[in-house]
A and B are shown apart, each in its own frame.
Chain A
């Protein structure tokens, strides 16, 4: 049996796919795909194997792209991806996530859409924007964007979403109603640093095998929840900065996760001291270790955005990230050593990893 490892890369100028074998040492690259559209996220439907790309063209508007042949050919649709003629225009799709037989799309301005026909047509999950807090939602620096969708691992009625400068919400009734899930998360930039909503969640991930354990990288720290987001415990201590965008969880170990801290929201948003590193916890955030072997340690003014880090499911786990200046890096050994996959891509907005056994 042959193992193919694909890194699905969304950039400001199209999608790219890097491919290797299980060794993850030598990589080929193809692209740009999706006609060069700006791509914020690429994900894989675990049931069908289809690839979905969340995109928005400055000329032609938002669309979710789909490929059933690992990126060789693509179709696209935005049928129903609208707030109606009276509502605000949707410039782009920020996240696409397939789960429990449906596909979900997070858009700007913040809202959630659902497709039950594999991305051909969409309808709004209206309950989210019916939340009483919606009229008070204010955009963050990247816009008022629903950027993170975390389906519950086993319960199709439940889901968490993240909206920049608004926070985390959970539904327990398939999207009909939503509740805020921000207790314990700071919003230092607000007059009241502990509001019900307004926290700037940057990335939310679920722990493997523990559906109620969540992690998040926030504008103001890194957090863990053991109760499905009802309360959060800060786990920033040990990191060089509270600020960063991406976070990924180990696919089998619920105690292990990675972040990429940046130097601060008002200091350029580079890796601290211009030295590139990922940081790993293996004890649920009690301690963190710096992982930098093979990464540039001088003049490395790299930034990594929220969707631009991914783990594969091999053993040992491969971990990859893409930077805003178009560098793609990977580690085949859970972050112990790193090598560069590509150096000159357009600005990288997202990375996803896919393992295919043939």
Chain B
């Protein structure tokens, strides 16, 4: 199970969400599926049509910027990080 670290602004949208949680999946796409099974609706906040990771979100696997097809090792740490943008 990967350890997924979510940003405060995302956790605030879902009462069932936690900042850190263990989620199954061998790719980023599968981890997002697993996250959505645990927190229904959260995939809609992370994914744009395509599907693709939303433009102003970044996902890192073990510190490396990742795409939906990126492999996720069983003990990997996956960070979801909003872009530093806005005014």
Contacts and interface: CB of A to CB of B under 8 A. Distances in A.
A complexed with B: yes
Contacts of B13: 35, 60, 76
B49 A35 contact: no
Contact of A77 (B9, B41, B82, B85): B41
8 contacts: A35-B9, A58-B86, A59-B54, A60-B13, A60-B46, A61-B44, A78-B44, A86-B49
Contacts of A87: 49
A137 interface: no
B82 A59 contact: yes
A63 B82 CA distance: 17
A223 to B, nearest CB: 36
Interface of B: 9-10, 12-13, 41, 44-46, 48-51, 54, 56-57, 82-83, 85-86
Contacts of A356: none
A85 B49 CA distance: 4
Nearest to B54: A61
A135 interface: no
A135 B37 CA distance: 38
Interface of A: 35, 57-61, 63, 76-79, 82-89
Contact of A82 (B49, B82, B85): B49
A59 B44 contact: no
A123 B62 CA distance: 38
A87 B50 CA distance: 8
A54 to B, nearest CB: 16
A59 B50 contact: no
A86 B52 CA distance: 11
Given A35-B12, A87-B49, A59 B41 contact: no
Contacts of B10: 60
A59 B83 contact: yes
Contacts of B48: 61, 89
